[in-house]
Amino acid sequence: MNSIGSENKPLEVAIIGSGPSGYYAAQSLFGSEKKINITMFDRLPTPYGLVRGGVAPDHQKIKNVIRVYEKISISPGFQFIGNVLVGKDISIDDLRNNFHATIFACGAETDRKLGIPGEDLQGSHTATAFVGWYNGHPDYRDLSFDLDQEIAVVVGQGNVAADVSRILSKTADELKQTDIADHALQQLAESKIKEIHVIGRRGPVQAKFTPEELKEFGELEDCNPVVDSSTLQLNEASQKELESPEGRTNVKNFEVFKDFANRDLTKKNRSCFFRFLEGPIELMGTERLEGILLAKNSLSGDPFKQRAEKTGETVEQKCGILFRSIGYNGIPIEGVPFDEKEGIFPNDKGRLLDNGSVVNGVYVTGWIKRGPSGIIGTNKPDSVETVNCLLEDIEKIDGEKSGNSGIMKILSEKQTRAVNYDGWKKIDEAEVKRGEPKGKPREKFTRIEEMLDIIK
Protein backbone atom coordinates (compact mmCIF):
# COMPACT_ATOMS: atom_id res chain seq x y z
CA MET A 1 0.00 0.00 0.00
CA ASN A 2 1.30 3.45 -0.94
CA SER A 3 1.50 5.87 1.94
CA ILE A 4 -0.01 9.31 1.66
CA GLY A 5 2.46 11.77 0.21
CA SER A 6 3.93 9.22 -2.22
CA GLU A 7 4.02 9.68 -6.00
CA ASN A 8 0.83 7.65 -6.51
CA LYS A 9 -1.01 8.97 -3.52
CA PRO A 10 -0.31 12.70 -3.16
CA LEU A 11 -1.28 14.53 -0.01
CA GLU A 12 -4.20 16.77 -0.95
CA VAL A 13 -4.06 20.09 0.90
CA ALA A 14 -6.48 23.02 0.82
CA ILE A 15 -5.18 26.45 1.79
CA ILE A 16 -7.83 29.04 2.56
CA GLY A 17 -6.51 32.49 1.76
CA SER A 18 -3.96 33.57 -0.84
CA GLY A 19 -2.04 36.18 1.14
CA PRO A 20 1.56 35.85 2.35
CA SER A 21 0.87 33.25 5.06
CA GLY A 22 -1.00 31.02 2.60
CA TYR A 23 1.77 31.25 0.01
CA TYR A 24 4.50 30.59 2.58
CA ALA A 25 2.57 27.52 3.72
CA ALA A 26 2.46 26.35 0.08
CA GLN A 27 6.19 27.02 -0.32
CA SER A 28 6.98 25.05 2.80
CA LEU A 29 4.78 22.12 1.71
CA PHE A 30 6.45 22.01 -1.71
CA GLY A 31 9.83 22.09 0.02
CA SER A 32 9.10 18.77 1.73
CA GLU A 33 9.97 15.40 0.21
CA LYS A 34 6.33 14.39 0.00
CA LYS A 35 4.25 14.51 -3.15
CA ILE A 36 1.70 17.20 -2.41
CA ASN A 37 -1.13 18.82 -4.35
CA ILE A 38 -2.31 22.20 -3.15
CA THR A 39 -5.57 23.99 -3.89
CA MET A 40 -5.52 27.58 -2.68
CA PHE A 41 -8.84 29.39 -2.27
CA ASP A 42 -9.59 33.09 -2.19
CA ARG A 43 -12.94 34.83 -1.89
CA LEU A 44 -11.77 37.40 -4.48
CA PRO A 45 -10.90 36.57 -8.10
CA THR A 46 -7.46 38.06 -7.34
CA PRO A 47 -4.70 36.47 -5.24
CA TYR A 48 -2.08 37.90 -2.83
CA GLY A 49 -4.33 39.16 -0.01
CA LEU A 50 -2.91 42.12 1.84
CA VAL A 51 -0.02 42.48 -0.61
CA ARG A 52 -2.60 43.62 -3.15
CA GLY A 53 -5.28 45.06 -0.86
CA GLY A 54 -3.31 46.24 2.18
CA VAL A 55 0.25 47.27 1.31
CA ALA A 56 0.23 50.98 0.54
CA PRO A 57 0.29 51.94 -3.16
CA ASP A 58 3.39 54.10 -2.63
CA HIS A 59 5.26 51.07 -1.25
CA GLN A 60 5.65 49.26 -4.55
CA LYS A 61 8.96 47.65 -3.56
CA ILE A 62 7.22 45.68 -0.81
CA LYS A 63 4.96 44.23 -3.50
CA ASN A 64 7.95 42.66 -5.29
CA VAL A 65 7.39 39.70 -2.99
CA ILE A 66 4.61 38.75 -5.43
CA ARG A 67 7.32 37.36 -7.75
CA VAL A 68 7.93 34.60 -5.20
CA TYR A 69 4.20 33.87 -5.01
CA GLU A 70 3.97 33.78 -8.82
CA LYS A 71 6.63 31.08 -8.96
CA ILE A 72 4.76 29.01 -6.40
CA SER A 73 1.53 29.50 -8.37
CA ILE A 74 2.96 27.84 -11.47
CA SER A 75 4.52 24.92 -9.57
CA PRO A 76 3.27 21.47 -10.56
CA GLY A 77 0.50 20.40 -8.20
CA PHE A 78 -0.65 23.96 -7.37
CA GLN A 79 -4.14 25.26 -8.23
CA PHE A 80 -5.65 28.64 -7.42
CA ILE A 81 -9.42 28.92 -7.04
CA GLY A 82 -10.56 32.51 -6.69
CA ASN A 83 -14.03 34.03 -6.27
CA VAL A 84 -15.00 31.23 -3.89
CA LEU A 85 -15.99 31.95 -0.32
CA VAL A 86 -15.39 29.13 2.14
CA GLY A 87 -18.37 28.90 4.49
CA LYS A 88 -20.75 29.97 1.68
CA ASP A 89 -19.78 28.57 -1.74
CA ILE A 90 -18.16 25.53 -0.18
CA SER A 91 -18.50 24.23 3.35
CA ILE A 92 -16.01 22.92 5.87
CA ASP A 93 -17.47 19.46 5.21
CA ASP A 94 -16.72 19.87 1.49
CA LEU A 95 -13.11 20.59 2.42
CA ARG A 96 -12.89 17.62 4.79
CA ASN A 97 -14.42 15.31 2.19
CA ASN A 98 -12.02 16.36 -0.56
CA PHE A 99 -8.72 17.11 1.18
CA HIS A 100 -6.50 15.29 3.64
CA ALA A 101 -5.65 18.58 5.32
CA THR A 102 -6.91 22.15 5.34
CA ILE A 103 -4.83 25.18 6.34
CA PHE A 104 -6.69 28.37 7.20
CA ALA A 105 -4.61 31.39 6.19
CA CYS A 106 -7.50 33.82 6.02
CA GLY A 107 -6.01 36.74 7.94
CA ALA A 108 -7.74 39.22 10.21
CA GLU A 109 -10.35 41.03 8.17
CA THR A 110 -12.10 43.28 10.62
CA ASP A 111 -11.05 46.17 12.87
CA ARG A 112 -10.86 46.24 16.63
CA LYS A 113 -13.40 48.57 18.22
CA LEU A 114 -12.48 51.51 20.45
CA GLY A 115 -15.62 50.91 22.48
CA ILE A 116 -16.28 54.61 23.17
CA PRO A 117 -19.34 56.82 22.60
CA GLY A 118 -19.62 58.33 19.13
CA GLU A 119 -17.48 55.64 17.49
CA ASP A 120 -19.97 55.22 14.66
CA LEU A 121 -20.67 58.92 14.00
CA GLN A 122 -20.63 59.94 10.37
CA GLY A 123 -17.04 60.94 9.58
CA SER A 124 -15.50 58.26 11.83
CA HIS A 125 -14.01 55.43 9.77
CA THR A 126 -11.96 52.30 10.21
CA ALA A 127 -8.47 52.24 8.79
CA THR A 128 -9.44 49.02 6.99
CA ALA A 129 -12.16 50.80 5.04
CA PHE A 130 -9.87 53.65 3.98
CA VAL A 131 -6.99 51.31 3.07
CA GLY A 132 -9.39 49.07 1.12
CA TRP A 133 -10.82 52.13 -0.65
CA TYR A 134 -7.53 53.59 -1.84
CA ASN A 135 -6.27 50.12 -2.76
CA GLY A 136 -9.34 49.41 -4.91
CA HIS A 137 -10.63 46.47 -2.84
CA PRO A 138 -14.10 45.60 -4.22
CA ASP A 139 -15.63 45.57 -0.69
CA TYR A 140 -14.72 49.22 -0.11
CA ARG A 141 -14.58 50.89 -3.51
CA ASP A 142 -18.02 52.53 -3.18
CA LEU A 143 -17.38 54.13 0.21
CA SER A 144 -16.98 57.86 0.41
CA PHE A 145 -14.71 59.89 2.63
CA ASP A 146 -15.33 63.55 3.25
CA LEU A 147 -11.95 65.02 2.31
CA ASP A 148 -13.40 68.55 2.33
CA GLN A 149 -12.63 68.57 6.04
CA GLU A 150 -9.51 70.45 7.16
CA ILE A 151 -8.60 68.40 10.22
CA ALA A 152 -8.15 64.64 10.29
CA VAL A 153 -7.36 62.46 13.29
CA VAL A 154 -5.77 59.04 13.08
CA VAL A 155 -6.04 56.99 16.28
CA GLY A 156 -3.20 54.50 16.79
CA GLN A 157 0.53 54.56 16.12
CA GLY A 158 1.26 51.38 14.17
CA ASN A 159 2.26 50.98 10.54
CA VAL A 160 -1.33 51.00 9.32
CA ALA A 161 -1.80 54.40 10.99
CA ALA A 162 1.44 55.46 9.24
CA ASP A 163 0.07 54.32 5.87
CA VAL A 164 -3.25 56.11 6.34
CA SER A 165 -1.59 59.31 7.57
CA ARG A 166 0.99 59.30 4.80
CA ILE A 167 -1.62 58.83 2.07
CA LEU A 168 -3.56 61.76 3.57
CA SER A 169 -0.35 63.82 3.71
CA LYS A 170 0.84 63.25 0.16
CA THR A 171 0.11 65.35 -2.90
CA ALA A 172 -1.58 63.85 -5.96
CA ASP A 173 1.77 64.15 -7.75
CA GLU A 174 3.38 61.93 -5.13
CA LEU A 175 0.67 59.30 -5.62
CA LYS A 176 -0.20 59.41 -9.28
CA GLN A 177 2.38 56.91 -10.49
CA THR A 178 1.54 54.30 -7.89
CA ASP A 179 -1.15 51.61 -8.25
CA ILE A 180 -3.58 53.66 -6.13
CA ALA A 181 -7.17 53.18 -7.31
CA ASP A 182 -8.23 55.90 -9.72
CA HIS A 183 -11.37 56.85 -7.73
CA ALA A 184 -9.19 57.45 -4.65
CA LEU A 185 -6.54 59.42 -6.52
CA GLN A 186 -9.17 61.75 -7.94
CA GLN A 187 -10.67 62.46 -4.53
CA LEU A 188 -7.34 62.75 -2.74
CA ALA A 189 -6.22 65.26 -5.40
CA GLU A 190 -9.10 67.51 -4.27
CA SER A 191 -8.50 66.93 -0.54
CA LYS A 192 -8.71 70.02 1.67
CA ILE A 193 -7.08 68.33 4.66
CA LYS A 194 -4.49 70.62 6.24
CA GLU A 195 -3.80 68.92 9.57
CA ILE A 196 -3.40 65.24 10.36
CA HIS A 197 -3.14 64.36 14.07
CA VAL A 198 -1.70 60.90 14.70
CA ILE A 199 -2.59 60.03 18.26
CA GLY A 200 -0.91 57.47 20.53
CA ARG A 201 -2.31 56.45 23.89
CA ARG A 202 1.23 55.72 25.09
CA GLY A 203 4.54 57.54 24.63
CA PRO A 204 6.97 58.09 21.75
CA VAL A 205 9.07 55.11 22.84
CA GLN A 206 6.05 52.78 22.69
CA ALA A 207 4.94 53.83 19.18
CA LYS A 208 4.73 50.73 16.99
CA PHE A 209 5.84 52.31 13.70
CA THR A 210 8.88 50.83 12.02
CA PRO A 211 11.56 53.53 11.71
CA GLU A 212 11.66 53.32 7.90
CA GLU A 213 7.94 54.10 7.74
CA LEU A 214 8.26 56.93 10.25
CA LYS A 215 11.20 58.54 8.43
CA GLU A 216 9.10 58.90 5.29
CA PHE A 217 7.15 61.70 6.99
CA GLY A 218 10.32 63.77 6.89
CA GLU A 219 10.51 63.49 3.11
CA LEU A 220 7.05 64.62 2.07
CA GLU A 221 6.67 67.22 -0.66
CA ASP A 222 4.02 69.42 0.93
CA CYS A 223 3.62 68.26 4.54
CA ASN A 224 5.68 69.01 7.65
CA PRO A 225 5.97 66.35 10.35
CA VAL A 226 5.43 68.05 13.71
CA VAL A 227 6.40 66.85 17.18
CA ASP A 228 6.17 69.02 20.30
CA SER A 229 9.55 68.55 22.00
CA SER A 230 7.93 68.69 25.46
CA THR A 231 6.17 65.40 24.65
CA LEU A 232 9.57 63.69 24.28
CA GLN A 233 10.35 63.84 28.02
CA LEU A 234 10.67 60.23 29.15
CA ASN A 235 9.95 58.48 32.43
CA GLU A 236 12.50 56.06 33.90
CA ALA A 237 10.92 52.92 32.48
CA SER A 238 10.89 54.36 28.96
CA GLN A 239 14.57 55.34 29.34
CA LYS A 240 15.26 51.71 30.31
CA GLU A 241 13.37 50.51 27.22
CA LEU A 242 15.68 52.63 25.07
CA GLU A 243 18.78 51.29 26.84
CA SER A 244 17.76 47.66 26.44
CA PRO A 245 18.83 45.59 23.39
CA GLU A 246 15.15 44.83 22.74
CA GLY A 247 14.52 48.54 22.34
CA ARG A 248 16.59 49.06 19.18
CA THR A 249 13.57 49.88 16.99
CA ASN A 250 12.25 52.23 19.65
CA VAL A 251 15.61 54.04 19.79
CA LYS A 252 15.45 54.61 16.03
CA ASN A 253 11.86 55.87 16.21
CA PHE A 254 12.77 58.15 19.09
CA GLU A 255 15.65 59.61 17.09
CA VAL A 256 13.25 60.34 14.22
CA PHE A 257 10.78 62.04 16.57
CA LYS A 258 13.63 64.15 17.98
CA ASP A 259 14.62 65.12 14.44
CA PHE A 260 11.01 66.13 13.68
CA ALA A 261 10.82 68.16 16.91
CA ASN A 262 14.04 70.04 16.06
CA ARG A 263 13.12 70.92 12.50
CA ASP A 264 12.43 74.45 11.34
CA LEU A 265 9.00 74.17 9.77
CA THR A 266 9.12 75.13 6.13
CA LYS A 267 6.12 76.66 4.40
CA LYS A 268 4.01 73.71 3.45
CA ASN A 269 0.27 73.28 3.04
CA ARG A 270 -0.10 70.34 5.37
CA SER A 271 1.13 69.32 8.81
CA CYS A 272 1.19 65.87 10.33
CA PHE A 273 1.28 66.03 14.13
CA PHE A 274 2.55 63.05 16.15
CA ARG A 275 0.96 63.23 19.60
CA PHE A 276 1.53 61.00 22.59
CA LEU A 277 -0.06 59.97 25.89
CA GLU A 278 -3.58 60.81 24.74
CA GLY A 279 -6.32 58.17 24.85
CA PRO A 280 -9.68 58.55 23.10
CA ILE A 281 -12.65 58.92 25.49
CA GLU A 282 -15.39 60.08 23.16
CA LEU A 283 -16.00 61.10 19.58
CA MET A 284 -18.02 64.28 19.73
CA GLY A 285 -20.72 65.60 17.42
CA THR A 286 -24.45 65.41 16.91
CA GLU A 287 -25.24 64.82 13.25
CA ARG A 288 -21.64 64.07 12.33
CA LEU A 289 -18.16 64.02 13.81
CA GLU A 290 -16.95 67.36 15.15
CA GLY A 291 -14.09 66.42 17.43
CA ILE A 292 -12.48 63.94 19.75
CA LEU A 293 -12.19 64.10 23.54
CA LEU A 294 -8.86 62.73 24.70
CA ALA A 295 -7.69 61.73 28.15
CA LYS A 296 -4.17 62.85 29.01
CA ASN A 297 -2.31 59.73 30.06
CA SER A 298 0.79 58.82 31.99
CA LEU A 299 2.62 55.50 31.89
CA SER A 300 2.93 53.00 34.68
CA GLY A 301 4.51 49.57 34.93
CA ASP A 302 7.80 47.89 34.16
CA PRO A 303 9.79 48.54 30.99
CA PHE A 304 8.07 47.01 27.92
CA LYS A 305 4.93 46.41 29.99
CA GLN A 306 3.95 50.01 30.56
CA ARG A 307 0.28 50.79 30.47
CA ALA A 308 -1.48 54.07 29.78
CA GLU A 309 -3.33 55.49 32.76
CA LYS A 310 -5.59 58.54 32.76
CA THR A 311 -4.22 61.53 34.66
CA GLY A 312 -7.69 63.08 35.01
CA GLU A 313 -6.86 65.88 32.56
CA THR A 314 -8.60 65.94 29.19
CA VAL A 315 -8.09 67.74 25.92
CA GLU A 316 -10.39 68.29 22.94
CA GLN A 317 -9.23 68.13 19.36
CA LYS A 318 -11.51 69.36 16.60
CA CYS A 319 -11.73 67.08 13.59
CA GLY A 320 -14.13 66.44 10.72
CA ILE A 321 -12.77 63.05 9.75
CA LEU A 322 -11.22 60.32 11.86
CA PHE A 323 -9.65 56.93 11.21
CA ARG A 324 -9.48 54.22 13.88
CA SER A 325 -6.26 52.32 13.30
CA ILE A 326 -5.92 50.24 16.44
CA GLY A 327 -5.39 46.74 15.05
CA TYR A 328 -7.40 44.00 13.43
CA ASN A 329 -9.46 40.97 14.44
CA GLY A 330 -10.14 37.74 12.61
CA ILE A 331 -13.70 36.87 11.64
CA PRO A 332 -15.34 33.49 12.32
CA ILE A 333 -16.11 30.93 9.60
CA GLU A 334 -19.12 28.70 10.10
CA GLY A 335 -18.05 25.31 11.43
CA VAL A 336 -14.62 26.45 12.66
CA PRO A 337 -13.93 27.13 16.39
CA PHE A 338 -13.24 30.81 17.07
CA ASP A 339 -11.59 32.61 19.99
CA GLU A 340 -13.74 35.74 20.33
CA LYS A 341 -11.40 37.44 22.79
CA GLU A 342 -8.26 37.15 20.67
CA GLY A 343 -10.04 37.24 17.31
CA ILE A 344 -8.16 34.14 16.12
CA PHE A 345 -8.78 30.45 15.45
CA PRO A 346 -7.60 28.70 18.65
CA ASN A 347 -4.54 26.61 17.91
CA ASP A 348 -1.42 24.96 19.23
CA LYS A 349 1.56 25.87 17.00
CA GLY A 350 -0.87 25.84 14.06
CA ARG A 351 -2.98 22.77 14.92
CA LEU A 352 -6.59 23.91 15.23
CA LEU A 353 -8.08 23.35 18.70
CA ASP A 354 -11.70 22.83 19.67
CA ASN A 355 -12.20 23.27 23.42
CA GLY A 356 -8.53 22.47 23.88
CA SER A 357 -8.52 19.28 21.74
CA VAL A 358 -6.73 19.05 18.41
CA VAL A 359 -9.05 18.95 15.38
CA ASN A 360 -7.47 16.38 13.09
CA GLY A 361 -6.49 17.58 9.63
CA VAL A 362 -7.17 21.29 10.20
CA TYR A 363 -4.42 23.88 10.62
CA VAL A 364 -4.03 27.64 10.80
CA THR A 365 -1.32 30.12 9.89
CA GLY A 366 -0.67 33.87 9.71
CA TRP A 367 -2.81 36.51 11.43
CA ILE A 368 -5.71 34.12 12.06
CA LYS A 369 -3.22 31.94 13.97
CA ARG A 370 -1.17 34.45 15.97
CA GLY A 371 -3.14 37.72 15.73
CA PRO A 372 -2.44 40.77 13.55
CA SER A 373 1.24 41.38 14.13
CA GLY A 374 4.45 41.41 12.17
CA ILE A 375 5.53 42.29 8.67
CA ILE A 376 5.08 40.11 5.55
CA GLY A 377 8.25 38.11 6.28
CA THR A 378 7.02 37.21 9.78
CA ASN A 379 4.56 34.87 8.09
CA LYS A 380 7.29 32.67 6.69
CA PRO A 381 8.53 31.03 9.90
CA ASP A 382 4.95 31.03 11.16
CA SER A 383 3.79 28.98 8.17
CA VAL A 384 6.82 26.68 8.39
CA GLU A 385 5.83 25.88 11.99
CA THR A 386 2.27 25.03 10.90
CA VAL A 387 3.42 22.92 7.95
CA ASN A 388 5.88 21.04 10.19
CA CYS A 389 2.94 20.09 12.44
CA LEU A 390 0.97 18.94 9.40
CA LEU A 391 3.86 16.84 8.11
CA GLU A 392 4.41 15.32 11.58
CA ASP A 393 0.74 14.27 11.54
CA ILE A 394 0.86 12.71 8.08
CA GLU A 395 1.05 9.15 9.43
CA LYS A 396 -2.35 9.66 11.07
CA ILE A 397 -3.95 10.75 7.79
CA ASP A 398 -5.78 8.17 5.76
CA GLY A 399 -8.26 7.75 2.94
CA GLU A 400 -8.69 8.67 -0.71
CA LYS A 401 -9.33 12.34 -1.39
CA SER A 402 -10.08 13.81 -4.76
CA GLY A 403 -8.66 17.27 -3.99
CA ASN A 404 -9.17 19.96 -6.60
CA SER A 405 -11.30 17.89 -8.99
CA GLY A 406 -13.81 17.06 -6.24
CA ILE A 407 -14.18 20.71 -5.31
CA MET A 408 -14.49 21.83 -8.93
CA LYS A 409 -17.35 19.36 -9.32
CA ILE A 410 -19.19 20.90 -6.36
CA LEU A 411 -18.59 24.41 -7.65
CA SER A 412 -19.78 23.53 -11.12
CA GLU A 413 -22.94 21.92 -9.70
CA LYS A 414 -23.59 25.13 -7.78
CA GLN A 415 -22.72 27.20 -10.86
CA THR A 416 -20.19 29.18 -8.88
CA ARG A 417 -17.96 31.24 -11.13
CA ALA A 418 -14.53 30.12 -9.90
CA VAL A 419 -11.43 31.87 -11.25
CA ASN A 420 -8.26 29.84 -11.80
CA TYR A 421 -4.69 31.13 -12.04
CA ASP A 422 -4.90 31.60 -15.82
CA GLY A 423 -8.03 33.66 -15.26
CA TRP A 424 -6.19 35.82 -12.74
CA LYS A 425 -3.28 36.28 -15.18
CA LYS A 426 -5.73 37.69 -17.73
CA ILE A 427 -7.01 40.17 -15.14
CA ASP A 428 -3.42 40.96 -14.20
CA GLU A 429 -2.36 41.65 -17.79
CA ALA A 430 -5.41 43.83 -18.42
CA GLU A 431 -4.71 45.87 -15.27
CA VAL A 432 -1.08 46.41 -16.22
CA LYS A 433 -2.14 47.51 -19.70
CA ARG A 434 -4.69 49.96 -18.27
CA GLY A 435 -1.98 51.48 -16.08
CA GLU A 436 0.57 52.04 -18.87
CA PRO A 437 -0.80 55.30 -20.37
CA LYS A 438 -0.87 56.84 -16.89
CA GLY A 439 2.62 55.68 -15.95
CA LYS A 440 1.11 53.47 -13.23
CA PRO A 441 2.26 49.90 -12.52
CA ARG A 442 -1.38 48.88 -12.97
CA GLU A 443 -4.88 50.32 -12.88
CA LYS A 444 -6.80 47.85 -10.76
CA PHE A 445 -10.26 46.63 -11.53
CA THR A 446 -12.27 47.45 -8.46
CA ARG A 447 -15.46 45.53 -9.16
CA ILE A 448 -15.72 41.76 -9.26
CA GLU A 449 -18.02 41.87 -12.32
CA GLU A 450 -15.38 43.87 -14.26
CA MET A 451 -12.79 41.24 -13.37
CA LEU A 452 -15.04 38.37 -14.44
CA ASP A 453 -15.84 40.15 -17.72
CA ILE A 454 -12.13 40.08 -18.61
CA ILE A 455 -12.02 36.29 -18.32
CA LYS A 456 -15.17 35.55 -20.28
Nearer CB in complex with ligand NAP: 115/437: 115
Applying the rule CB under 6 A, the residues between 98 and 117 that interact with ligand NAP are 114
What residues contact residue 96 under an 8 Å CB cut-off, 6+ apart?
102, 361
Q: How many CB atoms lie within 10 A of CB 307?
A: 12
User: Rounded CA gap, 90 and 43, in Å?
Assistant: 11
Q: Is 77 in a helix, a strand, or coil?
A: coil
DSSP characters over 372-394:
S-S-GGGHHHHHHHHHHHHHHTG
Tell the smallest beta-carbon distance from residue 262 to ligand NAP (Å). 23
Tell the smallest beta-carbon distance from residue 121 to ligand NAP (Å). 17
Tell the smallest beta-carbon distance from residue 373 to ligand NAP (Å). 4
| Residue 206 near ligand NAP by CB under 6 A | yes
| Residue 325 near ligand NAP by CB under 6 A | yes
What residues contact residue 293 under an 8 Å CB cut-off, 6+ apart?
280, 281, 282, 283, 284, 314, 315, 316
- 3-state DSSP helix/strand/coil % of the chain, to nearest 5: 35, 25, 40
What is the CB-side half-sphere exposure of residue 286 using CA atoms within 13 A?
Answer: 0
Q: Is 74 in a helix, a strand, or coil?
A: coil
| Residue 279 near ligand NAP by CB under 6 A | yes
Nearer CB in complex with ligand NAP: 208/440: 208
Distances (CA, A) of 86 to 100, 278, 334, 416: 17, 41, 9, 12
Tell the smallest beta-carbon distance from residue 312 to ligand NAP (Å). 18
Stretch that binds ligand NAP, among 252-260, 367-375, 421-429, 430-438 (CB under 6 A): 367-375
| Residue 87 near ligand NAP by CB under 6 A | no
Among 42, 58, 163, 179, binds ligand NAP (CB under 6 A): 163
Stretch that binds ligand NAP, among 155-163, 262-270, 283-291, 336-344 (CB under 6 A): 155-163
Stretch that binds ligand NAP, among 169-177, 247-255, 372-380, 407-415 (CB under 6 A): 372-380
User: Rounded CA gap, 394 and 2, in Å?
Assistant: 13
Stretch that binds ligand NAP, among 75-83, 96-104, 156-164, 282-290 (CB under 6 A): 156-164
| Residue 201 near ligand NAP by CB under 6 A | yes
CB-CB contact of 231 with 276 (8 Å): yes
* Binding region for ligand NAP (CB under 6 A): 114, 155-161, 163, 200-202, 206, 208, 210, 213, 279-280, 325-328, 372-375
